[in-house]
Structure 1
């Protein structure tokens, strides 16, 4: 009471209602953007690019925290269980939201109920790559090579249930081939073994592959998207290489835990939307081969749900498991 009288005596009564709003201003401290994958992959690259630009808009540092494991499930679970105050976000992607529900019967989160979509970021295809020493130059030649060595050819992925893993399983199913799956904890170690010839092939995200493909260190046989990509104009699609209807791209979107207040969601949406419009960002995304989405929360939720339905059907009909 004495404090109120003092304020009124000083003629500052009009400021009292502003003090709580000032104390609750968002953001007032650094924001964490969780990448559910190891450093060096597409998710990590995107996180660091977005964190720099969106953090600048919000006026607070945005710190990238890599929490890899179980094809994105470990990091995604951590965000689902975090406080819904806008200070913990994640750059989710196809594995954690569209494929995990069908792969993990006891998934510790619900992709649609436990998260608030902020904004759709981008899509990108995977690329089927082999070392240049492998005596094949097309998808059909690769199929013949694998069939001549049933159960002997190994492929790399970034983990059970990842899109790299699922693309390879679909490839096996559609071609009647049998390969050995070698899961890694991230893109960097998988590519090291591929470059060294310890595994024969991989269906890896395009961005980290482009330097190796352009230098000749890896040979690109096909892309998984429905159309060819500008960054690899001479590389055909898998569908055009004899695997009709093989179309799969990875999407990325920013999510917060469910229950984040609407005004904070709007602030975050505006910050990331601004970041995705910056020439430095759009240019780098194009160079990496990503197609910008910049979709709002409703559209993001809709395509996540549609993709989960698609991948769930494929996973169940193919009998694919995360083990």
Structure 2
């Protein structure tokens, strides 16, 4: 019996190695846990296109939106660990949602193996042109003199831009009234119409509307200015410390995926992030390549978890 079990283990190991060597031999599903049209979807499709070229198999984007990205993440967590269903993970579903929801149907730390970071998108503070503030100093002065008067839109309770707004309030001492929307699109529409006054959003979401004159960009939550909006100062330049928040995205696989498959995918993403054509595509969307290994991603997740835990506790945010 012992020899049989040992032989079976060897056979399984050989089989696994062989499968890894021939991987991929069929199309790969890339689960994007958000709706088409948003920044996450756009960068995912850029990654999928370049992965298809390098791997010689179609990488098909499958949008499974809902519940702040948790529906798609749950689907990916339950998929076979064979490398043919991957998750386009974000800071939202890997860090923020696990802190907010009491009962998630997946474990961000146990149900996935990190493959590689891919891209980062800067977040900005946009305000309606209807309010009497032309710069950050004037906004802070007005907000402190009128606590709760300014309405802060977001893409929804617990979204990254909601959390950035809470972080901003924590660091500056101002108070906005949170108005959650079902997506960033409606929030931007009402910001332009003056129905709400403040919106923290990723740059590509609001960039097309800046020239209309109906919204103003007061600051960018990054360590450095963006080449897309070089005249917009960083939060730190404006005296707001420890509020940098760039939305990252990454590739993950269900836990138990072969290390050989993970390594092949990691090498593939690394090659893509160095491709000038891909870099040009990302930059056009207001994003930047952000390669990091699986180990580096795990470290980033731990750092982000500590930061957002502080914000969640301070703002007393809890979701069912």
Larger-Rg structure: 1
CA displacement at 1:21 relative to structure 2:
5.4
Q: Give the one of 296, 299, 305 matched to 1:299.
A: 296
Counterpart of 2:91 (choices 91, 94, 99) is 94
Cα 1:22–1:79, aligned 2, differ >3 Å: closer, same or farther? closer
Larger mean CA deviation between 30-39 and 148-157 belongs to 148-157
* Cα shift readout 1:71-109 (whole Å, capped 9, x = no counterpart): 222211221111111111121111111222221222322
Mark the CA change 1:309 to 1:244 in structure 2 (over 3 Å): closer, same or farther. closer
TM-score, structure 1 as length reference: 0.85
Structure 1 position 204 matched with structure 2 position 201: yes
Task: Give the direction of change, closer, same or farther, for the CA distance of 1:244–1:261 in structure 2 (3 Å limit).
Answer: closer
**Residue 231 of structure 1 corresponds to which residue in structure 2?**
228
Q: Secondary structure at the match of 2:237?
A: helix
Which residue, out of 72, 75, 78, partners 2:75? 78
Aligned-partner Cα distance in 2 for 1:33–1:23 = 18
Distance 1:30 1:218, change over 3 A: farther
3-state SS, counterpart of residue 240 of structure 1? coil
Equivalent residue pairs, number: 306
- Contact 1:276-1:282 at 8 Å conserved across structures: yes
- 1:71-150 pair list within 5 angstroms: 71-150=68-147
Question: 1:175–1:303: structure 2 CA closer, same or farther, 3 Å change rule?
Answer: closer
Paired with 1:267 and 1:274, the residues of 2 have a C-alpha distance of: 11
Structure 1 segments unaligned to the other structure (5+ residues):
1-16
Aligned-residue RMSD, C-alpha = 2.6
From 46, 60, 67, the counterpart of 1:49: 46
What is the match of residue 164 of structure 2?
167
- Separation of aligned partners in 2, 1:309 and 1:176: 20
Structure 2: distance between partners of 1:236 and 1:22: 50
Q: Which residue of 1 aligns with 2:5?
A: none
Summarize the Cα distance change of 1:290–1:108 in structure 2 as closer, same or farther, 3 Å threshold.
same
Counterpart-to-counterpart distance in 2, 1:288 and 1:295: 20
Aligned partners of 2:123 and 2:246 also within 8 Å: yes
1:60 paired residue number: 57
